[in-house]
Chain A
Amino acid sequence: MATVTTEQVEARVVETLASFGPDADQITRESTFEELDIDSLDLVELAQVVEDEYGVVLKGEDMKELKTVGDAVDVIVSRAE
């Protein structure tokens, strides 16, 4: 699998999260899912996008650990490598 950059993953994660409601310009690496009003079902959908695009499987227990957008980006990048 081709290596993915943090910037690419971040852009894709922000785009996906924005499709769930929050404005894209409101989403930063430091934003928590809680303040973005991203719920558990949103995270399952995000995980499906991530799996389809990067082959990274994020299970429910992985998602529970993730508090911020940056946390999610970092784990995806590290596992995609």
Chain B
Amino acid sequence: MADGARPGCALVTGASRGIGAAIARALARDGWPVGVNYRSDRAGAEAVVSDIERSGGRAVALAGDVADPAAPEQLFEAVESQFGSAVLVLVNNAGISRDDLTPALDDEQWRAVLDTDLTAAFRFIRRGLKPMLRARQGRIVNISSVVGLRANPGQANYAAAKAGLIALTKTAAVEVARRGVTVNAVAPGWIDTEMTADVSKDLLDAVPARRAGTPEEVAACVRFLASDEASYVTGAVLTVDGGLAA
């Protein structure tokens, strides 16, 4: 891990596996104590924490469904008391998909995806900005999707949430820019995770790079946006998609 103690800590939602787990590991390597949030996969989150601790980093697994309105306060308090410092890096990564073609999408599929992928991120940003504005520093990275930029049949709810997350990112970024707090979005394309395991491999033909990306390739971008070096990058959307949206 990087030398030198960090002035605060990081919280990554949905970090028990896939992209979130890779992000938690990458931030820990950069010296951040990391809160590893999970909803159901406790074993996965504990494995991520063990990995980080074996590499000399600090991490804690934190249960909580981000869609619960009480989750932000509970998780921020838990991570802040665990590490004794303010959360200065927030990564809104937790997300779900409930795919169907628009005529077949029911209200519950719509609501569940909007709640978890968009409304929860808003609540975490609102809570996260408090300590960051006071500290005059902070990094928020929202994991959107290339689907928020480019159509993908069967994902109208997911696309609306992820596009909404980009708009939320831009407006929040502008509101707090003068306080040294940055808010950015990362828009992954097709990344090899459990979430994309069922997606038809034909889609790979549409990816100019002709392969799926890895969680680590997404995490590297988040790590950069969370770093001191990214201090003048705010309101940006960084696509990590092998050229899919280009």
Contact = CB atoms under 8 A, between A and B. Distances in A.
Interface of A: 41, 45, 48
B234 to A, nearest CB: 14
A59 to B, nearest CB: 14
B130 A48 contact: yes
Interface of B: 130, 133-134, 175-176, 178-179
Contacts of A45: 133-134
Contacts of B133: 41, 45
6 contacts: A41-B175, A41-B176, A41-B178, A41-B179, A45-B133, A48-B130
B79 to A, nearest CB: 19
B61 to A, nearest CB: 28
A45 B175 CA distance: 13
A19 B92 CA distance: 29
A41 B179 CA distance: 9
Contacts of A48: 130
A53 to B, nearest CB: 14
B76 to A, nearest CB: 14
A41 B134 CA distance: 11
B70 to A, nearest CB: 17
Contacts of B175: 41
A45 B136 CA distance: 12
A17 to B, nearest CB: 14
Nearest to B133: A45
